Amino acid sequence: LFEADQGSHENARKFFSEGVKVGRRNRYLFLSWALWEKEFGQGVATARKLFRRGTKTNPKDAPLWQAWAMLEAEQNDNEKARGLFANAVRADPTHQPAYTAWGVFESRQGNTAKARELWQRGVFADPK
């Protein structure tokens, strides 16, 4: 990310690529790389590929599923987003941020009853 901040996009991509070769299961690399590609790199299609790779390697990682769901929501692919949010809460039923994000998404879609249900599930998922 330092390289990207310095304007060296090719170096950033090279370091991300090398990082996932060494740490194939490092969810943080996939998450950071996908979000970076979406915002500053090659765009949404590349971010989707990285999320797909990351979730295949880390199927129990709720934050990866959640971030991918939010990307699809931004792209107005609501059914895809719902499926990915569902994957997030299945991957880790105690991950409150996934319930919260899904609830916000449903609220913005006008589905207030579903949003309330998701927020309630999130509260009881891990009531620390």
Maximum C-alpha span of the chain: 47
What's the gap between Cα 12 and its chain centre?
20
Q: For residues 100 and 90, give the distance between their C-alpha atoms in angstroms, rounded to a whole number.
A: 14
* CA end-to-end span of the chain: 33
pLDDT at 127 over 80: no
pLDDT in tens, 48-102: 999 999 999 999 999 999 999 999 999 999 999 999 999 999 999 999 999 999 9
| Cβ-contact 112, 121 below 8 angstroms | no
Angle between helices 27-40 and 62-74 (to 10 degrees): 10
The pLDDT value recorded for residue 128 is 65
Q: Quickly tell me which residue has 């009531």 as its tokens.
A: 127
Model confidence pLDDT, tens digit, residues 6-39? 777 787 888 888 888 887 788 889 999 899 989 8
Q: Is 99 in contact with 121 (CB distance < 8 Å)?
A: yes
Rg over alpha carbons for the chain, rounded to the nearest Å, is 16
Q: Helices 44-57 and 62-74, interaxial angle, to 10°?
A: 160
Q: Report the pLDDT value the prediction gives residue 14, as an integer from 0 to 100.
A: 84
* AA letter at 54: G
pLDDT at position 109, please? 96
